Amino acid sequence: MKRLSIANGWVNGKLAPVLLLPALALVLTNCQFNPINREVAPTYANDYRQRHPIAIKEGERTIEVFIGTNRGGLMGPQRADVLAFAGAWRREATGGIVIDLPTGTANERAAHEALKEVRSLLHGAGVPARGIQVRSYAPADPARLATIRLHFPKIVADAGPCGLWPHDLGPTSAPEHVRNRPYYNLGCANQRNLAAMVENPSDLIQPRAETPAYAARRSVVLDKYRKGESTATMIPNPDKGTLSDVGK
């Protein structure tokens, strides 16, 4: 009888295929590659608020006053614009008002005359004299009608820029289209619109402080409560402004 000798996968000096097959199968299994199921580290956040955060920063508020060549004063709507600008400065400004005055233009003399009225309106609206700075500027095209520009710094909210497409939306072999993830630009417009519409940018960061209670109304309500009366507001003759009785 012929005796078999197995040592290190060899049978009588020959390589045993039975022992090679499991090892070969294990190697092939480890090398198997499936591009659909593989996990890829995300290149950007799934949350649109993290992809397009709203930033609080210092911006600028500006108005332009058009001055005719032969007119040295302001018109009624222009006076209203300057007064509204001064009111916005009291509420929003983080610095003084800068007035850019055109020079080297056809309306240069008229602009200097209008500047006196602009400063007078600002002073009357509560802007101190030390808070106004006047500087000259030369427009790129002197032939065009130059304007007096008023601007001041303020805190603004901003997001974006939008319209960035690091990956195509069409079907490709890239892993971004295999996984169920939002595309990068999704939500950017909403964030930018919200930042533009918010009245007080700090509301996006923290709540406002409580304001004092309306003491007069509070006293009336508490007095009625102590007397056991109804604390609801009574509206005399609520049908006085009714235009029609249909449905009664």
The predicted-structure confidence for 200-212, as pLDDT tens digits, reads as follows: 999 998 988 888 8
Count other C-beta atoms under 10 Å from residue 191's C-beta: 20
pTM of the model: 0.62
| Boundaries of every domain in the chain | 1-32, 55-158
What is the Cβ-side half-sphere exposure of residue 78, based on CA atoms within 13 angstroms?
Answer: 19
Distance between CA atoms of residues 109 and 98, nearest Å: 19
Residues of the chain scoring pLDDT < 50: 1-2, 4-10, 15, 28, 31-41
Question: Which residues pair with residue 151 across a beta bridge?
Answer: 62, 98
Distance CA 9, CA 215 (A): 97
Q: Is the domain 55-158 a CATH 3.40.50.620 member?
A: no
